[in-house]
Amino acid sequence: MDGIHDMGGMMGFGAVAREADEPLFHEDWEKVAFGILLQVSGRVGFSDDHLRAHIERIPPLAYLEASYYERWTRALESYLEERGLLSPDAVEACLANMAVPARPGGGRGTTLDDIEEAVAKGASTRRDGAGTPARFRPGDRVRVLNEHPWHHTRAPRYTRGRIGEIVSDHGVFVYPDTHARDLGECPEHCYTVAFRARELWGADAAASDLVNVDLYDSYLEAVDTSA
Amino acid sequence: MALRVAALEQLLTDKGYCDPDTIDRLVELYETRVGPHHGASVVAEAWSDAAFRERLLANASGAMAGLGISGMQGENMVVVENTPGVHNVVVCTLCSCYPWPVLGLPPRWYKSEPYRARVVREPRTVLAEMGCDVADDVEIRVWDSSADLRYMVLPQRPAGSDELTREELAGLVTRDGMIGVAMV
């Protein structure tokens, strides 16, 4: 989807503002939002692909105004509502009964070591041995298809129609475009494709510079180098 | 937002999808155990042990697992090496993908519109504005983490650091150096 999230190369945002001695979280609710998302996602099938797809559906003006953890929270709510796992009425009713933010009581007594062990395992989207064969090899010249789907995709807009060179084949991974829509994992090869900065941005870019982008097999077509 | 998140926590706890203790321990994990000190120890090891450096550049997740570093948002790591002729810098233009096991959670500027929009188009200008001057004859390689690989930069070992221990070397390594927006 050609949404506001796909901002590589956009102009006019100004300088990068760094914060001295930045805390890990700026508000207490961000901690809760972070913890909710990390543990709920696995239980309700809310993968990173679903998270990103739902963030991308936030209307552009709201997206720009929202902080990182606000986007996460809006996306989770939107997903849970879509799945019928949470009703908007229940959220409104709960809000109406809550004067100040309060944490639920009880708790399962989870320990830090338990959490560390679970997080260290991760959840790889690599699917060795599965999926379609690689159509490209390192050194091949490829063009990113000029496709602009309405659904979630991971081919940045600034690469569409551009020619690059396959730098490496990372193996087979879950394909976000189908996975985010519940059409299956459809694993396929994922490559790093190097684009000359001038291929992307024109003569103002430095001749030596490269932009490397990770792209799935389906996003690419071979460039005929014999012509 | 604070109220809305509190309401969500209440409702999701009632449904059994989440638990307040687990939320608190997850936060504590990233506040106390996982952070850029992990990445710094990987860099110090690579500077000290040539065989480890080779393994790291060939299969970063495998090499890091040998140091006990692995996990969520770093299952498939790639380490890219700065050299006298090449400077690397990492971004995620589509969202804010970041290698959590080695760098912890990302700072706000990394997730910000200016960084995501600009560093792919005008890396030299952005890096100079951030105080990282890359010479004109050094090639810049930007890595846009657009899929499920996560990137970390292996900075060049500073001159005059030959006598330092691994711990002392790790102390020289900064988070921003491992993103590629600062020299080490």
Chain A residues with beta carbon closer than 8 angstroms to that of B75: 122-126
Residues of A in contact with B141 (CB under 8 A): 194, 209-212
Residues of chain B with pLDDT under 70: none
State phi, psi for B83 to the nearest 5 degrees.
-135, 175
Please write the tens of the pLDDT for every residue from A55-69: 999 999 999 999 999
Taken in order B159, B165, B171, B173, is the CA torsion positive or negative?
A: positive
Query: Is A28-121 in CATH node 3.40.50.720?
Result: no
**Which residue's entry shows tokens 């091949």?**
A140
Chain A hits for B90, Cβ within 8 Å: none
Nearest to residue A103, comparing CAs of B37, B36, B8, B171? B8
CB spacing of A29 vs B118 below 8 angstroms: no
Give the model confidence (pLDDT) of A37-49 as tens digits: 999 998 899 999 9
pLDDT single digits (tens) A108-132: 999 999 999 999 999 999 999 998 9
The domain limits of chain A are 28-121, 141-222
pTM: 0.97
The model's confidence at residue A182, banded by pLDDT at 50, 70 and 90, is: very high
Give the pLDDT band of residue A209 (cuts 50, 70, 90). Answer: very high
pLDDT(A227) > 90? no
CB contact under 8 A, A212 and B144: yes
**pLDDT in the model for residue A225:** 72
pLDDT band, residue A32 (cuts 50/70/90): very high
Q: Exactly one of B95, B112, B146, B161 is catalytic; which is it?
A: B95
B153: which strand partners? B80
Tens-digit pLDDT profile for residues A141-157:
999 999 999 999 999 99
CATH class of A141-222: mainly beta
B144 DSSP β-pair partners: A213, B91
Residue A106: the pLDDT is 83
CA dist A81 and A78 (Å) reads 5
Domains, chain B, with CATH or none: 1-33 (no CATH), 34-179 (3.90.330.10)
- CB contact under 8 Å between B114 and A119, yes or no, is no
